[in-house]
Structures are given as structure tokens and as C-alpha cells.
Structure 1
Amino acid sequence: MKIYHIIQGINNLSAGTTVSVGAITHNLTILGNEVFVVATGQKPKEWPYLGSLKLFENKFTKIGLLSIGDIKTIRSEMLSGEAVVHGHGVWRIMNLMPLIIPKKAKTKIIWSPDGMLSEWSWNYKKYIKRPFWYFFQKPALNRVDCFHATSLEEVEDIRRLGFMQPISLIPIGVEFPEIENLAPQKENKLVFLSRIHTKKGVHLLIQAWGQIANEFQDWSLVIAGKLDSDYGKDMVELSKTLHAPRISFVGEVLGDEKTKLLSSARLFVLPTFSENFGIAIAEALAHGTPVITTVNTPWQDIQTKKCGWYINNTKEELVNTLRNALSLHSNQIDAMGINGRIWMEQDFSWKKLAGKMQKTYDWLLNGGDAPIEIIEKQS
């Protein structure tokens, strides 16, 4: 099967969508498919995934656009035979690709909003987004044959905006590190690892840490993520203004460094305002690290699985939860981490989820009975 994954860019390997696209293309290739990643911009310093890259980089892509020649090339490639186009995200030029594929083409289109249709995202910079939505993005998404959602919350976001196409409900997977080979020692270290963006609630975390840090002298806070935005720089200044002790900003971490950081941490925290999935949460659990996150993620099961805390994203609740969590004996926290690792191994392996995705693709191309993951079209 020929499969094209469409994404705006892949140069940021710390971005959740980039990681998930790389992982799914890798595992679909292992299953015997011919898989391509089509994106704008530069190739990242490392790309540890199978599958072919088709990257477009020129004066147009540097300002977020495509040339007419690029569009013709992409269109010709995707219409060269029977294929599946799987797009990721909204609000960018690559997210308008359904508009260039005729409805009668053999090519079938499935689209993953990747959390960008949530109410938080919908209202963030809404005065810029609304015109783009009605003139370009909505017509493009009306063209797709099927959506892919990673959670029931994302299914609701898709339906809320009036899209009635079938939806394939398949979560994002996670890679499982060989923690035993690294033999790390768990430390009293609270780790945040994600994009440094206001959506992720880093300001709440720094404020909460500043309030409780002196009560837990043997704990430290590590914030991992690129600091190249104004918000990132503001967070560094906020930590200084609050005189928050034992807090370190380590920048972007990838590969073995990420594995070492997550597996050596005793707790992981993501006080986010909106997530369709939250791959960093799954990665932390896979590394045997319990998680504190918010009701704005689809991770309510961390409570029933006894591997974390699921809270409202207010500073007060974050302070109380951190105080309770850090007061536990290390053996209690580490036992929660083991619970999370077992859960991830059972339900979130990329190999298993890639197989489910391939069944969706087969159904789109060939028809027949819908896979169990499909939520049927509504009239």
C-alpha cells in the first residue's frame, strides 16, 4: 500500500506530532507499506525512522507557503495511483492539501487534527484563525473521507464543528526504552518535558513550584523544551523573579538524553490547558515515571491505573497535588511508575496501533465491513 503522511514540518523532533508521525511511518513501513512523509522545511539533525522523506524548502516555504510548482509536484505524486493520504494538523498551508485532490480520485484522505480543533486552540488567536477557517481550512476538511481522532474528546471536537465523516479512534503509541540497560537511579526530580508554550501551563508550574520548593529541599524541578520563543524567555525570567530554587531549564532533549531524563525522574508534570492526546505523558509512563496532569487531557485513567494524578489546572490545585505527591515515600511513587509502564506496554505499543491504522486505510481503499475503531458517518 502507498501511504503519504502530510505535515507542515519535521525539523522539531521534540514536537509531539513530529514524533508520532515518525513512529507511525516507521511501523507502517515495517508492515510492508511504501510510506512517505511530505513536509516543508529542513530535515532534522536526526531522523531515526523508516520511510521516505519528501521535503520542500525554498523562499516560499520559509514564509509558510508553497510555490505553484511545489503544489503541482505534490498533487502529481499523490495522484500517481491508488494511495492513502494521511494529513496532520490544521491552520497551515500543508493542511490544505485535500483541496488539490479531486473527489473522484483513487486517493483516499484521512486527517488527524492533532488537538488543533479543541476549544482552547479554536479560541487562541481566533481573530486570525476565523477567516482562514471559513475560506480555506473548513473547505479542505470537508473534502476528507475520514478523520483520525486520538481520544473521545477529539471525536467531540470534530463533531462540534459540524463534520459528519467517519472517524477512526486510535490513540497515539509510545516507544519503550530499554531502561534496564541504562540502569538509572530514580532521583527526587520533577520533570516537565514538552513544547514551552502558554498552552502547556509552564507559568502555573513555576508559580506552584516557587510556593512549595522550600518545603522539599531534596527535590528539584527540571524544565525541558526549546526556549527560543518569547514565552520561553518569559518563563526563565519568571523563575528568577520568584526566586524559585533548584529549577533548571535544560532546553531541547532528544534520543538517549530524553530517555535518561525521563527514566531518572521520580515524577513528571504537564499542567496543560489543552491536549488531544499528550504524547509526553505516554512517554513518561513508558519510562516508569508517574504523571501529574490535568482534566484537559484524555488521561483520566491514570487514576484508575494508579499511576498518577488527574487535576484541574489551577495553581491552587497544582500546589496541593505537588505537596501531596512529594510527601509520599519514594517507594510509593516508584510503584506507581511500574503501574504506568505495564499499562503502556499493554495498550500503547506502536506495532499494535500501526496494525489498527492499516486496517482503517484498507477499509478506505477497499470498503467492506468497517474496523472496530471506526465511528460511522453521521447524517
Structure 2
Amino acid sequence: MHVFYPIGTFYPAQSGGPSNSVYWLAKALVRQGVKVTVVSTDTDQPDTTPRDQWLSTNAGRVRYVSTRRHNLPWRHIGQSWQVLPSTDIVHLTSLFYPLSMAVAVLALWQKKQLVWSPRGELAPAALSIRPQLKRVVLRLIRCWTSRITFHATSPDETAQIKTQFGTNVRVVELPNYLELPAPYAPSGSAPCAPYLFYLGRLHPIKALDRLLEALALSSAFQNGPWQLRLVGTDADGYGATLRQQAKTLGLSHRVHIEPPVSGEAKQQLLAGAYALVLPSHSENFGNVVVEALAHGTPVIAALGTPWAILAAEEAGFWVANDPAALGATLDVCLSLPSSKYAHYRQQAMTLARTQFDIDTNSHRWLSAYNSLIANLLITPLCAE
């Protein structure tokens, strides 16, 4: 079997969840004897990454194509055209990225099995951004749905796919599986003030303004030593908006907006947090949730994210992201007795390692790909 991933950015780039999740999946498939080819732009690659040559890696054969304009990666499309004839499965990771549209047309013309992951792009909040253009793209994709297998990471995303493309479309529903970090062993340095943590883009869809309002309503936060650390890339000046809001709410000294981190620094922040907070209006998954859980860090996630399992497994909380409800949940979380909090931490770690570890779950993707090649895939194919 030969699986091809044409993608906008790929590890070691850190500009989006698929950069890592596709990398982890590709590595796991290679370990199971699958031939994997990845073609990516060189967007966000370090200077040390070789460009425009095939690299033999633990994630298969990888090529980073020099790209001047990320949204018009013509040379990437040309390279993908050369790879397509030898592939069995073509797996795309965005509906609206021009590269995906171009490669989808080429793959269907060559009668390749096509798997397409929307990656949250069909959520109502996401569709509200540039809606006219997206309606045109969706109309085109509807012409091809009989020849596409869609991938959803949650039941909500499966429902979104069927709403857009019809109830009879083929859907494989599997979460993102991660290469989980080892539990972080803290150094002997003095501990910092206890903090709540957010890691990701600073963007209005993440509803961080609601989190700040919730903090102002939380007596446990206000009366305790707590800090909030917001770590990530600022998008469209949202960080400045949050700083002004924190000042207005009297929280400037307790809310810290920090630049993106990676590697050991990222793991240290995840492991050291009292809880990760993901108040987003919409998320199709959220890799950072699994990364936090793997360190035993409980998670507070909004109802717009697919994380009902947090409450069911007592690994965190799943709550509406209106400030009153979120503030009340913060009061409960920050007031947990030490024994109950320790229980949440253990449950968090167990949940991550039993249900989201790529090493123990990648066989589900191999089974899905094999079924697709054998034309045995039914709708939906879900992990049990």
C-alpha cells in the first residue's frame, strides 16, 4: 500500500495541528510496513530543512517544495502530479486550501482513492468566514462526493459532513492520534505561581474574551493566587484586544500573553499547569487537549469542542463557554480537594494513553485504508 499526503505544512513546521498529526500518523504507518510519501510546502520550515529534494525519513519519503506564495503553491501541485500515478490512497487535510482542490481534481481524474479531512472547516463558526467563496467550493465538492471518503475526528464533525454533503456520504470517524510526550519531570527550580493555561492561536474563534470575563466572575480565581497564561501566535491583533479587556476587568497583573513555545518548554508549561482551558466557540479536535491530558493536566473545554468525554471520565470539565457557566466551572475546578484533584490527574493521564496514543491505535487507520482499497468501507467506520 502506498499512501500519499499532499499537505500545506509538515513537521518540523508548527503552524497547525495537521503538521504534527499527519507526521505522527505517517511514522506509525511506516512502522507497519506502509509506503508513505509526503509533499509539503516549505512554509514555516527552519533554514536547516533541505528544500526541493527527496528525503528518507522515519515518516516515509518527504519533499519540502520551495514556495513563494503559500496559497498558490504551483510547484507543489506539479510535484504532486508526478507522485500520484504510483499511489493507492491520497489523503488531503483541508477542504478550502487551493492545493487540496487542485490535487483532488488530479487524483479523481487518475481514479485514485481519495480521503479528505475537513479539519474543523465545516463548523458553523468556520463557515461564517468568507462564506461566499466557501459556498462555491462546497458546491464543487458535492459533484464528487460519490468518489470521496471523508474523515471526521468526532461525531459532531461527522454530522457537519453529512449536513453539507448528504447522509449517504462515506465517512471514517477516527480521532487524531498523537505521539504522546513522556510525563514531564520538573527540574529543581523554584515553582512559579499556580496558573491556568491556554495554548494555541490568539483568535476570536477561541473565545478567550469569554474566558477573561469568566475569570472576573470566579471568586475562586479572584481570591486565590491564580494566574492565566495565554501562549500562542497573535492573529489579527486579538492579543491587543485581550490586553485591553484584562485591564478593564482589573486582571492585567494576573493575565499574561506570551509568544509561542515548542519542544521541552511547551511540555513544561503543559505539565506545570493546574488545568488547560479551551473555551473555543468551535474546534474539530484540539491536539493540545491530548497533550495536556498525557501529562495528567485536567482540561476545561467548551461545548463547542468535541470533548464530552472529559466529564464522563472525570478527566476535566465540558461546559458552555458563556462567562457565567465558565466562571462557575472554574470555581468548582479551582476548589477541588487535593485527593479529588489527584483523581482527575490520574484519569487524565489514563484517558490520553488508552484512547489517543498513536502507537496503540494506528492500526485503526491501516484497517480503514485497507478496507477502502478493497471497497469494503461502510458509512460510518468508527473506532470501537
TM-score range, shorter chain: 0.7 to 0.9
Query: Does residue 224 of structure 2 align to residue 217 of structure 1?
Result: yes
Alignment length, in residue pairs? 367
The one-letter code sitting in structure 2 at the alignment partner of 1:237 is: Q
The one-letter code sitting in structure 2 at the alignment partner of 1:75 is: W
Structure 1 CA distance, aligned partners of 2:312 and 2:319?
14
Listed as ranges, the matches of 1:227-238 within 5 Å are 227-238=234-245
Deviations 1:152-201 (A, max 9, x none): 11111111112433211111123332225446879621001122211111
Corresponding residue for residue 89 of structure 1:
94
Corresponding residue for residue 7 of structure 2:
7
Structure 2 CA distance, aligned partners of 1:148 and 1:328?
38
Structure 2 CA distance, aligned partners of 1:227 and 1:26?
31
With structure 2 as the length reference, what TM-score do the two structures score? 0.86
1:115 to 102, 109, 120: 120
* Contact 1:90-1:113 within 8 A present in 2 as well: yes
The one-letter code sitting in structure 1 at the alignment partner of 2:65 is: F
Cα gap change, 1:216/1:17 in structure 2, threshold over 3 Å: closer, same or farther? Answer: farther
Structure 2 CA distance, aligned partners of 1:308 and 1:302?
5
Listed as ranges, the matches of 1:1-379 within 5 Å are 1-10=1-10, 12-13=13-14, 15-42=16-43, 44-45=45-46, 50-59=59-68, 61-62=69-70, 64-67=71-74, 70-79=76-85, 81-96=86-101, 97-103=103-109, 105=111, 107-134=112-139, 136-139=140-143, 142=145, 144-163=147-166, 164-179=168-183, 181-182=185-186, 188-212=194-218, 215-244=222-251, 245-367=253-375, 369-370=376-377, 374=381
* Contact 1:268-1:289 within 8 A present in 2 as well: yes
Structure 2 CA distance, aligned partners of 1:186 and 1:51?
41
Deviations 1:218-253 (A, max 9, x none): 111111111253223322333234331322112111
* Contact 1:23-1:49 within 8 A present in 2 as well: no
Deviation at 1:114, TM superposition (A): 0.8
* Contact 2:181-2:291 within 8 A present in 1 as well: no
Deviation at 1:15, TM superposition (A): 2.3
Deviation at 1:150, TM superposition (A): 1.0
* Contact 1:14-1:254 within 8 A present in 2 as well: no
Describe the SS at the equivalent of 1:65.
Answer: coil
Structure 2 CA distance, aligned partners of 1:186 and 1:342?
26
Cα gap change, 1:137/1:199 in structure 2, threshold over 3 Å: closer, same or farther? Answer: farther
Describe the SS at the equivalent of 2:169.
Answer: coil
Query: Which ranges of structure 1 fall in alignment gaps of 5 or more residues?
Result: none
Deviations 1:44-93 (A, max 9, x none): 3399963333233334x34x1133x54333122112x2421111022111
Describe the SS at the equivalent of 1:273.
Answer: coil
With structure 1 as the length reference, what TM-score do the two structures score? 0.87
Describe the SS at the equivalent of 2:194.
Answer: strand
* Contact 1:292-1:310 within 8 A present in 2 as well: yes
Structure 2 CA distance, aligned partners of 1:146 and 1:34?
20
Query: Which ranges of structure 2 fall in alignment gaps of 5 or more residues?
Result: 50-56
